[in-house]
Amino acid sequence: MIQRKLEVTYVPFDRTTRVPPGTTLFSAAHWIGLPIDSTCGGRGTCGKCKVRVIKGIADAETADHRQLRPQEIADGWRLSCQAHIHEDMTCEVPQLLRVPKAATMGLGRLVILDPNVRKVYFELKEPSLEDQRSDLARLKDALTEEGHDMVAGVSVLRTLPQVFREANFRVTAVLAGERLVAVEAGDTTEQCYGVAFDVGTTTLVGTLMNLRTGMAASVTSTLNGQAPFGADVISRISHGMNGPEAIHELQLAVISTMNSVLAELYRDAGISPMQTYEAVVVGNVTMLHLLLGVDPSPLSMMPFTPAFMDELTVDAGELGLHIHPHGYVQTLPALGAYVGADIVAGVLATGVLREDKLRVFVDVGTNGEIVLGSAERALATAAPAGPAFEGSQIKCGMRATVGAIEGVQLGDRVELQIIGGDVPAEGICGSGLVDAVAQLLLAGLMDHSGRLKLPGDVPDHPLADRLIDIDGMRAFLLADGVFLTQRDIRELQFAKGSIATGIKVLMDILRVTAGDLDEVLLGGSFGSYLNPESAKVIGLVPPVDVDRIIAVGNSAGEGAKIALLSYRERQVAFELPSRIEYVELSGRTDFNDSFISVLGFPQLETVS
Per-residue confidence (pLDDT) for residue 114, from 0 to 100: 81
Q: Alpha helix locations (H) across 389-542?
A: 430-442, 486-510, 524-529, 532-537
Contact by Cβ (8 Å): 122, 150: no
Task: Give Cβ neighbours of residue 596 (< 8 Å, ≥ 6 apart).
Answer: none
Amino acid at 322: H
pLDDT at position 386 over 70: no
Please tell me the distance from the alpha carbon of residue 255 to that of residue 271, in angstroms, as a whole number. Answer: 20
Per-residue confidence (pLDDT) for residue 373, from 0 to 100: 93
Per-residue confidence (pLDDT) for residue 93, from 0 to 100: 87
Q: What is the mean pLDDT of residues 323-341?
A: 94
Q: How many CB atoms lie within 10 A of CB 605?
A: 6
Please tell me the distance from the alpha carbon of residue 524 to that of residue 33, in angstroms, as a whole number. Answer: 15
Closest residue by Cα to residue 269 from 321, 221, 216, 222: 216
Closest residue by Cα to residue 170 from 185, 181, 180, 157: 185
Q: Go through 222-242 and write b for each residue having 16 or more CB atoms within 10 A of its CB, e for each that does not.
A: eebbbeebebbbeebbebbee
Per-residue confidence (pLDDT) for residue 608, from 0 to 100: 46
Q: What is the mean pLDDT of residues 365-387?
A: 84
Burial (CB < 10 A; 0-12, 13-18, 19+), residue 211, is buried
Task: Identify which has the larger pLDDT, 155 or 524.
Answer: 155
Task: Give the tens place of pLDDT for each residue, 101-113.
Answer: 555 665 667 777 8
Per-residue confidence (pLDDT) for residue 300, from 0 to 100: 83
Which of 11-15, 474-478, 517-521 is predicted with the least confidence, judged by mean pLDDT? 11-15
pLDDT band at 100 (very low <50, low <70, confident <90, very high): very low
Contact by Cβ (8 Å): 309, 361: no
Domains identified in the chain and CATH numbers: 6-98 (3.10.20.30), 117-185 (3.10.20.880), 193-331 (3.30.420.480), 355-387+494-602 (3.30.420.40), 388-491 (no CATH)
- Given strand 170-176, what is the order of strands in its sheet? 117-123, 170-176, 179-185
Task: Give the tens place of pLDDT for each residue, 276-315.
Answer: 999 999 999 999 999 999 999 898 888 888 999 999 999 9
pLDDT at position 252 over 50: yes
Which of 56-70, 389-403, 409-423, 462-476 is predicted with the least confidence, judged by mean pLDDT? 389-403
Q: Strand, helix or coil at 261?
A: helix
Per-residue confidence (pLDDT) for residue 193, from 0 to 100: 97
pLDDT at position 563 over 70: yes
Please tell me the distance from the alpha carbon of residue 572 to that of residue 348, in angstroms, as a whole number. Answer: 8
- DSSP readout, 394-417? STTB--SSTTEEEEEEESSSEEEE
Which of 88-102, 452-466, 524-538 is predicted with the least confidence, judged by mean pLDDT? 88-102
Per-residue confidence (pLDDT) for residue 98, from 0 to 100: 44
Q: What is the mean pLDDT of residues 423-449?
A: 92
Our measurement of the distance from residue 450's CA atom to the centroid of its chain's CA atoms, rounded to an integer in Å, reads 31
pLDDT at position 46 over 70: no
Which of 138-142, 161-165, 378-382, 521-525 is predicted with the least confidence, judged by mean pLDDT? 521-525
Which of 139-153, 194-208, 319-333 is predicted with the least confidence, judged by mean pLDDT? 139-153
Which of 350-359, 458-467, 469-478 is predicted with the least confidence, judged by mean pLDDT? 350-359
Per-residue confidence (pLDDT) for residue 530, from 0 to 100: 81
Please tell me the distance from the alpha carbon of residue 185 to that of residue 173, in angstroms, as a whole number. Answer: 9
pLDDT at position 461 over 90: yes
Please tell me the distance from the alpha carbon of residue 430 to that of residue 391, in angstroms, as a whole number. Answer: 5
Average pLDDT, the chain: 87
Task: Identify which has the larger pLDDT, 130 or 553.
Answer: 130
Q: What is the mean pLDDT of residues 85-112?
A: 71
pLDDT at position 16 over 60: yes
Q: What is the mean pLDDT of residues 187-211?
A: 93
pLDDT band at 593 (very low <50, low <70, confident <90, very high): confident
Amino acid at 514: A
* Upstream peptide bond of 306 is cis (omega within 30 degrees of 0): no
Task: Identify which has the larger pLDDT, 201 or 362.
Answer: 362
In this structure, the dihedral spanned by the alpha carbons of residues 270, 273, 278 and 284, taken in order and rounded to 10 degrees, is: 90
User: 14: phi > 0 → left, psi -120 to 50 → alpha, else beta; which?
Assistant: left
Per-residue confidence (pLDDT) for residue 364, from 0 to 100: 81
Task: Give Cβ neighbours of residue 239 (< 8 Å, ≥ 6 apart).
Answer: 229, 230, 246, 249, 250
Task: Give the tens place of pLDDT for each residue, 488-518.
Answer: 999 889 888 889 999 999 999 999 999 999 9
First to last CA, the chain: 10
What is the percentage of the chain residues whose pLDDT exceeds 90?
A: 56
Closest residue by Cα to residue 117 from 55, 64, 175, 50: 175
Task: Identify which has the larger pLDDT, 129 or 145.
Answer: 129
Per-residue confidence (pLDDT) for residue 562, from 0 to 100: 93
- Given strand 427-428, what is the order of strands in its sheet? 414-418, 404-410, 427-428
pLDDT at position 6 over 50: yes
Task: Give the tens place of pLDDT for each residue, 155-177.
Answer: 999 999 999 999 999 999 999 98
The C-alpha angle with vertex 81 and arms to 71 and 418, in degrees rounded to 5, equals 110
Task: Identify which has the larger pLDDT, 484 or 302.
Answer: 484
Q: What is the mean pLDDT of residues 179-192?
A: 94
H-helix or E-strand spanning residue 180: strand 179-185
Using CA atoms, how far residue 169 sits from 130, 176, 180, 220, 285, in Å, is 17, 21, 17, 38, 45
pLDDT at position 40 over 70: no
Which of 230-239, 357-366, 400-409 is predicted with the least confidence, judged by mean pLDDT? 230-239
- Put simply, whether the predicted model's pTM sits higher than 0.85 gets the answer no
Per-residue confidence (pLDDT) for residue 38, from 0 to 100: 59
